[in-house]
Amino acid sequence: MIRRRGTAIAGALLALLAVAGCGLGPGDDVGSVELTVTRDFGAEPMLQRSVGDVAESDTVMRVLERNAEIETRYGGGFVHSIEGIEAEDRGGPRDWFFYVDGVESPVGAADYPLEGGERIWWDRHDWGATNHIPAVVGSWPAPFTDGYGGRSYPVAVECRGGGDACATVRERLGAAGVEPASGSPPRAIRVLVGPWARLRSDPAAAQIESGVEESGVFAEFEREGSGYRLMGLDPEGDAVRDFGPGAGLVAATRRYEAPPVWVVTGAAAAGVRAAANLLDATGLRDRFAVAVEAGEAIPLPLERGG
C-alpha cells in the first residue's frame, strides 16, 4: 500500500516536472541563429556564421561559447574576451556588448534564451561616450521580420513629409518579407521617414537631439537658419564632421521599454531619399547607424578626427 502510494507520488512529481518544462538533455531543436562578432562598432569583422542545431536550452552565451574562444568574468556572466580580443580600460574603456535582432539586451548573455532565427551581434567598442545603445540598424531586416525578445511586433511606417522615400521604405521592407501595418498600431516597431524638421517632434526621435547618451545614435542635427545640418560624432561623442546639405541618416533608438524606432531622415528631402535607399543588408550590415553623403554610406560613429 505504502509502496503504491510512493510510486503514485513519484509519478505525479515527474508529470509536474514535465509540465513545468523540465526534462533531460538540451531539449528540442529550435533551428538556427546568425552569429556575428565585430570590433569597433562593426568596423572590423571577426566572425560571421550561421549556427545550426540550436536547442531550446541554449542561450546567447552558450552559442557564443560553442563557436568562439571566449573568457568570462564574474562567475561566467560577463564576456571578457572573444578570440583573444579582451575588454580593456586603456585609451577609453572598451567592452563586449551584444545585440539580439538589433536591440540591446536587458539581461545578460547567459540569461538570454534563444528561440531560433535570432541575429546575435557581439561588438567590442569604446563606451566612453555612452554604455547604452538601445538599438542598432546592423541586423537588418531584424527586428522587423520576427520581432525581438521572443515576441513579434507589428511594423508601422510613419511618413512625415518623406514623399517618395516612404514608398522606397515600404518597398524595401516588403522585399525583406515584412508587411507594414496600416496606420500606427500600439506597440509597433516604427519607421519614421521624413526630414528632421518634421521628425524631431516625435519623443523617441527627439532623443537624438538630446545627445548620444540619451539616444545611442552617434549623430546630431544642428539648427542652421531655418534648417538643420547633420553632424557625425566620433566614439567619444564629439562632433567631428559636418555633412553636406544633402546628407541622410538611418539610425535606430528606443525610448524606455517601448519597441525600437528607426529614423530614415536627412536635413532635406534629398537626404531622406538617399537614406531610404540604404535600407538593405548591404548598406546596413554590422552598422550601428549610417549617414549617407553624395551617395556614399558612412558608418557611424566616425573615426576619431573624422
Partner 1 sequence: MRSPLAYTPRPGPLQAASPGAAVAYLGALVTVAFLYSSPLVLCGAGVAAVLAGRLASATRAVRAAVKLGLLIALPIVVVNALVVDRGATVVARLGEWPLLGPVEVTAEALADGAVFGLRALVAMVAFAVYSACVDPDRVLRALRPLAARSALTAALVSRLVPVAAADAARLRDAARLRGPGAAPVGKAPLARRLLAGSLDRAVDVAATLELRGYSLDHPRIRRATGGFSRPGRGELATRRSRFDRRFYATGATVLLIAIAGELLGADAFRAFPTIEVGLAPATLAVAALIALAGLAPLRRKPRCRSTPVATAPGARPLGAPGA
Taking CB under 8 A as the rule, does residue 163 contact partner 1?
no
Q: Which is nearer to partner 1, 78 or 127 (CB)?
A: 78
What is the x/- site pattern for partner 1, positions 2-41, by CB under 8 A?
---------------x--xxxxxxxx--------------
- According to DSSP, residue 223 is labeled E
Minimum distance, C-beta of residue 110 to partner 1, in the bound complex (Å):
5
Taking CB under 8 A as the rule, does residue 81 contact partner 1?
no
Neighbours of 39 (CB within 10 A): 18
Q: Which is nearer to partner 1, 67 or 145 (CB)?
A: 67
Taking CB under 8 A as the rule, does residue 91 contact partner 1?
no
Q: Which is nearer to partner 1, 66 or 304 (CB)?
A: 66
Q: Give the distance, in angstroms, between the CA of residue 30 and the centroid of all CA atoms in the same chain.
A: 22
List of long-range contacts for 171-174, beta carbons under 8 Å, 24+ apart: 172/276, 172/279, 172/280, 173/141, 173/144, 173/279
Distance CA 216, CA 136 (A): 9
The DSSP annotation for 54-83 comes to EETT-BHHHHHHHHS-EEEETTTTEEEEET
Contact between 46 and 39 under an 8 Å Cβ cutoff? The reply is yes
Q: Which is nearer to partner 1, 108 or 163 (CB)?
A: 108
Taking CB under 8 A as the rule, does residue 225 contact partner 1?
no
Among the listed residues 111, 213, 222, 224, the single contact to partner 1 using CB under 8 A: 111
Taking CB under 8 A as the rule, does residue 73 contact partner 1?
no
Distance CA 303, CA 306 (A): 5
What is the x/- site pattern for partner 1, positions 39-68, by CB under 8 A?
----------------xxx-x-xx--xx--
Distance CA 242, CA 138 (A): 23
Task: Give the binding-site size for partner 1 (rule: CB under 8 A).
Answer: 24
Which helix or strand (DSSP H or E) is residue 213 part of?
Answer: helix 212-215
Minimum distance, C-beta of residue 64 to partner 1, in the bound complex (Å):
9
Q: Which is nearer to partner 1, 55 or 197 (CB)?
A: 55
Q: Which is nearer to partner 1, 32 or 57 (CB)?
A: 57
Contact between 134 and 260 under an 8 Å Cβ cutoff? The reply is yes
Q: Which residues bind partner 1 (CB under 8 A)?
A: 17, 20-27, 55-57, 59, 61-62, 65-66, 70, 72, 75-76, 110-111, 113
